[in-house]
Amino acid sequence: MTRPLQLRRLHFLNALFAPLTGHDLYLAQQIDDAISTSLGEAEERAPSDPAFVQAAALLLQRLCSAQSEHGFFHWDASADYTGATPLFTRASVMQGLKQLAGYSESTLLITNLRTAHCPPSKRWTERRRREYDETLTFIRELAAARSLRHATLNLLFL
């Protein structure tokens, strides 16, 4: 694996698992090793690779589920063709926020939102960028408005 790719992956994992690693790159390296053993040819995969993101999301879900007081919800925006539309974005995020409402600390993980707005076979246009930025803003504002004030909600976009 090239050094820049390895550093990108370690920083990605360090940011994703910050509550567990305490921003320690050595622990991020151990998480990277765990993902590499479960995912074939993981060492050549960039942190933006869909298979790598899915493996990291699965590991994060397992770790969060092990904590009884920590809620977790994962929404894959590219799971179907409606993920990037405002109506279905709102419905999916609201479903997650309702599920997480009973927890004082929770994580809402949203993956493949960029891919839902611009599939790999397409090019980023000004319109797609604007819609993507509007969707990010919409999700952040919705999460802030619909989560309890005393609760800690970690909103992660991969």
pLDDT digits (tens, 9 = 90+) for 58-74: 877 777 777 778 888 99
Task: Please check whether residues 95 and 151 belong to one and the same domain.
Answer: yes
* pLDDT attached to residue 19: 67
Task: Please check whether residues 29 and 106 belong to one and the same domain.
Answer: no
Residue 62 placed within a domain? no
Residue 61 placed within a domain? no
Mean pLDDT of the chain: 81
Task: Give the residue with greater pLDDT, 69 vs 38.
Answer: 69
Positive or negative CA dihedral for 32, 53, 72, 109? positive
Domain carrying residue 125: 67-158
Nearest in space to 109 (alpha carbons), one of 153, 149, 144, 68: 153
Task: Please check whether residues 71 and 123 belong to one and the same domain.
Answer: yes
Residue 107 DSSP code: E
Task: Please check whether residues 81 and 116 belong to one and the same domain.
Answer: yes
> Please, which pLDDT band fits residue 21 given cuts at 50, 70 and 90?
low
Task: Please check whether residues 94 and 151 belong to one and the same domain.
Answer: yes
With a CB cutoff of 8 Å and minimum separation 6, the contacts of 12 are: 47, 56
Percent of the chain exceeding pLDDT 90 equals 23
Residue 57 placed within a domain? no
Domain count for the chain = 2
Helix (H) or strand (E) holding 105: strand 105-111
Task: Please check whether residues 24 and 78 belong to one and the same domain.
Answer: no
Whether residue 41 has pLDDT greater than 70: no
Task: Please check whether residues 45 and 85 belong to one and the same domain.
Answer: no
Residue 3 placed within a domain? yes
Task: Please check whether residues 38 and 73 belong to one and the same domain.
Answer: no
Task: Please check whether residues 74 and 47 belong to one and the same domain.
Answer: no
Task: Please check whether residues 80 and 154 belong to one and the same domain.
Answer: yes
